Amino acid sequence: MRIGLCQIDTRVGDLAGNAARILAAARAAADAGAELCVLPELAVTGVPPRDLLEDDAFVEAALATTHRLARDLADGPPVLVGTIARTTARTTTPLPGAPRRRPLGLPGPPRLHNALALLHRGTLAAVHGKRLLPGYDVFHEPRWFAPAPPAPPFPCPPFPCPPFPGMADPSSVLAAMPIGPLVCEDLWSEGYPEDPAADLRRQGARLLVCASASPFRHGVLAARLHHARRAQRPLPTAAPPLPHAPPAALVYVNAVGAQDELIFDGRSFALDPEGRPLLVLPAFEEAVEVVDLAVPTPTTFPPPTAPEVDLRAALVLGIRGFARKNGVRRAVLGLSGGIDSALVACLAAEALGPAAVTAIALPSRHTDPRSTETARALARALGIGFEVSPLEPLHAAAEQALAPLLAGAPPGDTTLENIQARLRAMVLMAHLNRQGGILLNTSNKTELSLGYGTLYGDMAGTLCVIGDLTKPQVYALARHIDAGRGLIPPFILERPPSAELRDDQVDPFAYPRISPAVEALIQGDPLPEDVTPEEATRFTRMIRGAEHKRWQAGIVLKVTDRAFGTGRMMPITRA
């Protein structure tokens, strides 16, 4: 069987655009000789659709789009595509004049399945619902979907039919390989009481096909391969039709692209029954390729890359995807002469093109002149726009206007420092309002964790580009991008971190030591051995105390197992 792996980038809610991408990919695969085309999870709706699924009009349109796709693909090979399907659960009739929404708190299970549809000969030939619904991290699928009951493999073709042009005799290759359809988590069954892949194998599936939308985290490919090869293993069975389930080939098609905080890295693959790779699609880009399971040609997975290689590609894709899918043409950021803003400037220039990025330097009476000089040099090297807006006039005006409030400030008072940070944000937003686009935030994860940032000041920005990178990771990625070329001035790479909100200010943390400890607390990992109980208590208190700030922060691009965002919903008010 020749299978087309269609790794495409969809947009949530864009049913017409997604359908066009599905059609183009499936036709390209058919032109390359595919006898079956496979597309990612929820490709019709875009992923994750979240509470769009509460809108009856959207659900009806998505279902209609799936049927229309079947008709449009009638002259080609069978297509497996991720979509939604209705359950048999009871629904309610909206009150007259009420919005067409399923009322929140509707008794009974959700009314939809996260499904894999088999489109064949102009019809929706079969539907297989997702059985295992993740409810952890950024996944909240039980809110919208009901788990599907077990189902037998798809026969392929699903019913007798004449071959389409270029298709092998359906009575031979295709009919001899029943397909076990899986939807993402169905493959990651360790720890669940059910094992969908094993059930399908015991019912005769000779090929497992997994449609997925698995977000990027560095090292996640190894986890995907572990679960894929586990699903392929030989299985004993006492049930017909087989005395045992021999190893099965496996095709895994993952989404690619970015949607809000999530970045999908693609890296779809096909494995022979022994778990050896036959085809590996590229990372972080769309691709359509065909693998011939009848004439297997072994290949290899690309060698493991340094973390910085993947992080760079992921964050660039995250910025580009957010801008493109939201119709954003420009980005603005404050370029301070520090490492964080320097890294964001490099990533933004690569993602959007230098002409679409404007950096603003905001020197104050406390700013080292070298900060502005090196910011200008970096902007020149990147080819991005650069402007200087001195803060002193606004700083002086704020001091005068707030003199009664600021008089007699006790030692350690940070009111005026925070005013400066908010004045910076005001200037950046003024530039943004005049030029259009989005403001990129430059806070890193260590600062966000500890609350070392000014609310409505340096925490402003729609997209928090490096909010899932610790401070040491910021330095490592910046040095990777610089690669000794002198792109990022040495002053930026080597200076002690500073917010420059008072004379000779230096950040109060030893980041190489503190960042791993703080990240371990966020990830729920064991603390480094050199962290004392007192330090652990202090860091925990700081993390909790900054929760209200993070609730008001921008969208953090997720590149670790646990990022700040929808996957970490800590209460602000707690004991």
Of 304, 320, 342, at which residue does a domain stop? 304
Retrieve residue 182's tokens.
Answer: 């899986």
Let me know if 37 is a catalytic residue. no
Retrieve residue 425's tokens.
Answer: 């944000």
Specify whether the CB–CB gap between 515 and 543 falls below 8 A.
no
pLDDT tier at 258, thresholds 50, 70, 90: very high
Let me know if 184 is a catalytic residue. yes
pLDDT at position 159 is 42
Strands (E), 141-276: 179-183, 207-212, 235-236, 244-245, 249-254, 256-259, 262-265, 269-271
Nearest CA to 231 out of 194, 266, 268, 265 is that of 194
Give the model confidence (pLDDT) of 293-304 as tens digits.
988 888 999 888
Do residues 250 and 271 share a domain? Answer: yes
Is pLDDT above 50 for 174?
A: no
Structural domain containing residue 49: 2-88+110-304
pLDDT at position 504 is 84
Residue 55 within any structural domain of the chain? yes
Specify whether the CB–CB gap between 477 and 218 falls below 8 A.
no
Is pLDDT above 60 for 282?
A: yes
pLDDT tier at 349, thresholds 50, 70, 90: very high
Of 250, 279, 304, at which residue does a domain stop? 304
Retrieve residue 482's tokens.
Answer: 């610089």
Rounded to the nearest angstrom, the gap between the alpha carbon of residue 491 and the centroid of all alpha carbons in its chain is 33
Binding-site entries for deamido-NAD(+): 418, 447, 549
Count the helices and strands in the chain (H runs, E runs): 16, 21
Binding-site entries for ATP: 334-341, 442
The DSSP symbol for 171 reads I
3 state SS of 48: coil
pLDDT at position 87 is 86
- Cα separation, 458 vs 261, in Å, equals 20
Residue 119 within any structural domain of the chain? yes
Specify whether the CB–CB gap between 311 and 53 falls below 8 A.
no
Specify whether the CB–CB gap between 542 and 502 falls below 8 A.
no
Q: What is the dihedral of CA 317, 331, 468, 446, to 10 degrees?
A: 160
Do residues 381 and 271 share a domain? Answer: no
Do residues 240 and 334 share a domain? Answer: no
The DSSP symbol for 53 reads G
Specify whether the CB–CB gap between 23 and 72 falls below 8 A.
yes
Binding-site entries for L-glutamine: 136, 214
Specify whether the CB–CB gap between 207 and 250 falls below 8 A.
yes
- Cα separation, 80 vs 435, in Å, equals 44
Provide the whole-model pTM: 0.92
Site of tokens 């496996």: 250
pLDDT at position 164 is 38
High-pLDDT (> 70) share of the chain, %: 91
Is pLDDT above 70 for 382?
A: yes
Mean pLDDT over 399-421 rounds to 91
Is pLDDT above 50 for 405?
A: yes
Retrieve residue 261's tokens.
Answer: 């905080």
Mean pLDDT over 359-363 rounds to 96
Mean pLDDT of the chain: 90
Residue 94 within any structural domain of the chain? no
Let me know if 325 is a catalytic residue. no
Rounded to the nearest angstrom, the gap between the alpha carbon of residue 223 and the centroid of all alpha carbons in its chain is 16
Do residues 498 and 551 share a domain? Answer: yes
Top pLDDT among 314 and 160 is at: 314
Of 263, 280, 304, at which residue does a domain stop? 304
**CATH code of the domain in which 231 resides:** 3.60.110.10
Do residues 262 and 315 share a domain? Answer: no
Give the model confidence (pLDDT) of 23-59 as tens digits.
999 999 999 999 999 999 999 999 999 999 999 999 9
Do residues 144 and 10 share a domain? Answer: yes
Which residue of the set 6, 156, 184, 210 is catalytic?
A: 184
For 82-96, letters b (16+ CB in 10 Å) and e give bbbbebeeeeeeeee
Is pLDDT above 90 for 267?
A: yes
Bridge-based pairing state of the strands 112-120 and 123-129? antiparallel
High-pLDDT (> 90) share of the chain, %: 78
Is pLDDT above 60 for 400?
A: yes
pLDDT at position 219 is 87
Give the model confidence (pLDDT) of 149-173 as tens digits.
998 888 755 544 333 333 344 434 3
Other C-beta atoms closer than 10 Å to the C-beta of 376 total 18
Do residues 318 and 214 share a domain? Answer: no
Do residues 238 and 285 share a domain? Answer: yes
**CATH code of the domain in which 527 resides:** 3.40.50.620
Give the model confidence (pLDDT) of 479-521 as tens digits.
999 998 999 999 999 999 988 888 888 888 899 999 999 999 9
Do residues 40 and 125 share a domain? Answer: yes
Strands (E), 421-480: 438-441, 463-464
Other C-beta atoms closer than 10 Å to the C-beta of 14 total 14
- Cα separation, 98 vs 403, in Å, equals 53
- Cα separation, 92 vs 78, in Å, equals 35
pLDDT at position 203 is 87
Top pLDDT among 67 and 99 is at: 67
Residue 314 within any structural domain of the chain? yes
- Using CA atoms, how far residue 441 sits from 458, 542, 552, 562, in Å, is 7, 21, 12, 19
Mean pLDDT over 124-147 rounds to 93
241 upstream amide cis, omega within 30 of 0? yes
pLDDT tier at 175, thresholds 50, 70, 90: low
Do residues 285 and 316 share a domain? Answer: no
Is pLDDT above 70 for 3?
A: yes
Rounded to the nearest angstrom, the gap between the alpha carbon of residue 384 and the centroid of all alpha carbons in its chain is 26
pLDDT at position 176 is 54
Do residues 275 and 394 share a domain? Answer: no
Which residue of the set 6, 37, 130, 500 is catalytic?
A: 130
For 419-453, letters b (16+ CB in 10 Å) and e give bbbbbbbebbeebbeeeebbbbbbbbbbbbbbbbb
Specify whether the CB–CB gap between 285 and 256 falls below 8 A.
yes
Specify whether the CB–CB gap between 337 and 492 falls below 8 A.
yes
pLDDT at position 271 is 96
Residue 409 within any structural domain of the chain? yes
Is pLDDT above 60 for 217?
A: yes
Binding-site entries: 136, 214, 334-341, 418, 442, 447, 549
Is pLDDT above 60 for 97?
A: no
pLDDT at position 246 is 78
- Which H helix or E strand runs over 270? strand 269-271
Nearest CA to 459 out of 375, 555, 544, 567 is that of 555
Is pLDDT above 80 for 108?
A: no
Give the angle 27-275-204 at the CA atoms, nearest 5°: 75
Nearest CA to 250 out of 207, 309, 211 is that of 207
- Cα separation, 308 vs 312, in Å, equals 6
- Which H helix or E strand runs over 320? helix 307-325
Do residues 374 and 256 share a domain? Answer: no
Residue 200 within any structural domain of the chain? yes
- Cα separation, 348 vs 351, in Å, equals 5
pLDDT at position 239 is 56
Residue 496 within any structural domain of the chain? yes
Which residue of the set 6, 35, 37, 41 is catalytic?
A: 41
Residue 377 within any structural domain of the chain? yes
Domain count, the chain: 2
Query: Residue 211: CA atoms inside 13 Å, Cβ hemisphere, count?
Result: 31
Retrieve residue 33's tokens.
Answer: 């000789």
Is pLDDT above 70 for 351?
A: yes
Strands (E), 301-446: 331-334, 357-361, 385-388, 438-441
pLDDT at position 138 is 92
